[in-house]
């Protein structure tokens, strides 16, 4: 049976890891995706002591709920493609620390944001720096048997599986894979979503479930906090395509309700929308 996970930022923020894992279990999830974003607070996790890491490992064993992946969006602040050598160096240090943390916690996948740069101007040089440093990152990850999986983004640099595959041609490693976000993939009008999934099926390590509002000539799209069922994603079509292609990896519900007054209610509403599709297609028992 398929593993279904929940994003850490969907759950209340001020909890211990044991409490967070128990809540995920109560809500019917198999795993959590940890967030290491660009805030100092979450970047500090990369410097957890051995005792702090041991406490998280013990919580995983006690609750029988895994942390299968890390969403490493800290590279928005320290991008591989920065024009500044100091920033690029920081990006690789951050990457090495994340790989070591994943190895210590038994995490299999680190999801990387598919940005060459985020706050800087994109150039041909930023693309070259990105590829150069991603090669170094993949080599580091391979040494620890950790998969780096690039998310399809809200950004033209990596907004399709086709664009990921152009990068993959240059870094031919099983430790570099793709992590499509069905919302981001669907929001770009130039994407034929079914074709994109077919094209990349043998590179997909995990899938984000999220709704989005489509990009148009007059509208930049909306890529976060779109209630399920109000956006542009054809969830049934996407899931039927993935099932036909024999995708059996995990699905991760991506939500941002950690500061909500009613996070559990919002998660239950998301499940009420998504789970019937997952059951209809055969990913969950009916």
- Going by C-alpha positions, the residue among 89, 88, 61, 206 that lies closest to residue 147 is 206
The CATH code for residues 4-281 is: 3.20.20.150
Query: Which residue has 């500061």 as its token pair?
Result: 259
0.85 surpassed by pTM: yes
Give the helix, strand, coil percentages of the chain, each rounded to 5. 50, 15, 35
Residues 6+ apart with CB under 8 A from 21: 32, 59, 60, 63, 65, 67
Give residue 91's pLDDT band: very low, low, confident or very high (50, 70, 90).
Answer: very high
Task: Please report, for the chain, the start and end positions of each structural domain, with discontinuous segments joined by +.
Answer: 4-281
pLDDT of amino acid 259:
85
pLDDT at 1 over 80: no
pLDDT, tens digit, 9 for 90 and up, residues 8-17: 999 998 899 9
DSSP designation for 81:
T
Q: What is the largest CA-CA distance in the chain?
A: 53
Beta bridge partners of 209: 253
Give residue 200's pLDDT band: very low, low, confident or very high (50, 70, 90).
Answer: very high
The rounded percent of the chain whose pLDDT value lies above 90 is 96
Residues 6+ apart with CB under 8 A from 276: none
- Going by C-alpha positions, the residue among 261, 247, 242, 245 that lies closest to residue 205 is 247
Distances (CA, A) of 123 to 14, 117, 156, 188: 40, 9, 13, 21
pLDDT, tens digit, 9 for 90 and up, residues 246-263: 999 999 999 999 888 899
pLDDT at 227 over 80: yes
Beta bridge partners of 151: 113, 179
pLDDT, tens digit, 9 for 90 and up, residues 44-84: 999 999 999 999 999 999 999 999 999 999 999 999 999 99
Cα dihedral 165, 171, 175, 178 in deg (nearest 10) = -20
Query: Which residue has 């040089």 as its token pair?
Result: 125
- Going by C-alpha positions, the residue among 195, 237, 186 that lies closest to residue 213 is 186
Give residue 280's pLDDT band: very low, low, confident or very high (50, 70, 90).
Answer: very high
Beta bridge partners of 34: 70
């Amino acid at each position: 049976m398929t593993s279904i996970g929940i994003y850490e930022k969907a759950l209340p923020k001020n909890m211990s890891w044991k409490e967070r894992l128990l809540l995920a279990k109560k809500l019917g999830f198999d795993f959590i995706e940890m967030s290491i974003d660009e805030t100092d607070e979450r970047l500090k996790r990369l410097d957890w002591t051995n005792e702090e890491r041991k406490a998280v490992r013990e919580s995983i064993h006690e609750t029988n709920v895994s942390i299968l992946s890390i969403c490493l969006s800290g590279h928005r602040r320290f991008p591989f493609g920065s024009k500044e050598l100091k920033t690029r160096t920081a990006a690789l240090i951050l990457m090495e620390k994340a790989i070591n943390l994943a190895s210590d916690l038994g995490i299999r996948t680190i999801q990387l944001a598919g940005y060459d740069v985020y706050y800087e101007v994109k150039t041909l040089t930023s693309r070259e720096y990105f590829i150069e440093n991603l090669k170094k990152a993949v080599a580091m990850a391979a040494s620890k048997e950790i998969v780096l999986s690039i998310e399809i983004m809200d950004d033209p640099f990596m907004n399709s599986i086709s664009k990921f595959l152009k990068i993959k041609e240059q870094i031919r490693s099983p430790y570099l894979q793709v992590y499509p976000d069905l919302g981001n993939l669907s929001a770009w009008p130039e994407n034929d979503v079914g074709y994109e999934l077919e094209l990349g099926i043998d590179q997909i390590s995990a899938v984000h479930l999220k709704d989005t509002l489509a990009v148009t000539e007059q509208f930049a799209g909306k890529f976060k906090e779109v209630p399920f069922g109000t956006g542009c994603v054809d969830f049934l079509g996407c899931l039927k395509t993935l099932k036909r292609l024999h995708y059996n990896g995990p699905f991760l519900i991506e939500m941002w309700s950690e500061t909500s007054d009613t996070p559990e209610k919002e998660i239950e509403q998301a499940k009420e929308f998504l789970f019937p599709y997952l059951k209809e297609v055969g990913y969950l028992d009916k």
